[in-house]
Amino acid sequence: MTATPIAVITGASSGIGAATARTLAAAGYRVVLTARRKDRIEALAAEITEAGHEATAYALDVTDRTAVDEFATAFRSLAVLVNNAGGALGADPVASADPADWRQMYETNVIGTLNLTQALLPALTASGDGTIVILSSTAALSSYEGGGGYVAAKHGEHVLAETLRLEIVGTPVRVIEVAPGMVKTDEFATTRFRGDTEKAAKVYAGVDAPLTAEDVADTIGWAVTRPSHVNIDLLVVRPRAQASNTKVHRTL
């Protein structure tokens, strides 16, 4: 009897991470949900289990390497790692941005991804058919005013994915990068603006149908479930109303 393939999703407490957990569970994976907010992932794991799928919650800070290494000992074989944990802080210009914000974004987006990837790569390789997904952003590909720290962090993730793919070619592990544009979730913009819901709402004002977390999760699910020999190196997904990071059609 073939064992159920396991997928680890970081940042699974809300938004794209939670939606991806639901998507992969429905696709037949046993999902392991990680995030710092234990209550959130436990509730999601219960929801997924009640729907007839397999899910486990594990509280984890991806920037804590000791904790990540301990987490990784649970896996001899792993089918999928979705590096989703990350986020943005502030929208200040380079000249006045808080270096602490830049440091936190780099630690979460880049070092967190590095930590999980390094710790779980042996198990992904041992599976004989592993997949690493790195959720970056269109910010990984082009800059915009007020986004310097986030853009720098996401460029770091993009280069990590590119370099890793070069270095492990010939092994049974794929490296997929998914780069979403404007996605409206419950927390991303609100967190960026430190709880200022008015500022957060302006990001999406007048935009007809920005992407949802489910849209991105569907994209991740599609990429992960391609035949083993097919690698989706980089998939950029934006709403129709967005032509670039700085060109968005708004009806106001």
Q: Tell me the catalytic residues.
A: 150
Burial class (CB in 10 A: 0-12, 13-18, 19+), 88: buried
- The amino acid at residue 161 is A
Helix axes 15-26, 213-224, angle to 10 degrees: 40
Nearest alpha-carbon partner for 116 in 168, 152, 151, 80:
80
DSSP code, position 183: B
- The amino acid at residue 114 is L
Q: Under a CB-based contact definition with an 8 Å cutoff, are residues 125 and 82 in contact?
A: no
Q: How far apart are CA 7 and CA 5, in angstroms?
A: 7
95 Cβ contact list (under 8 Å, min separation 6): none
41 Cβ contact list (under 8 Å, min separation 6): 12, 13, 33, 34, 35, 57, 58, 59
Q: Under a CB-based contact definition with an 8 Å cutoff, are residues 99 and 92 in contact?
A: no
Which pairing describes strands 30-35 and 130-135: parallel, antiparallel, or unpaired?
unpaired
Nearest alpha-carbon partner for 115 in 76, 60, 155, 152:
60
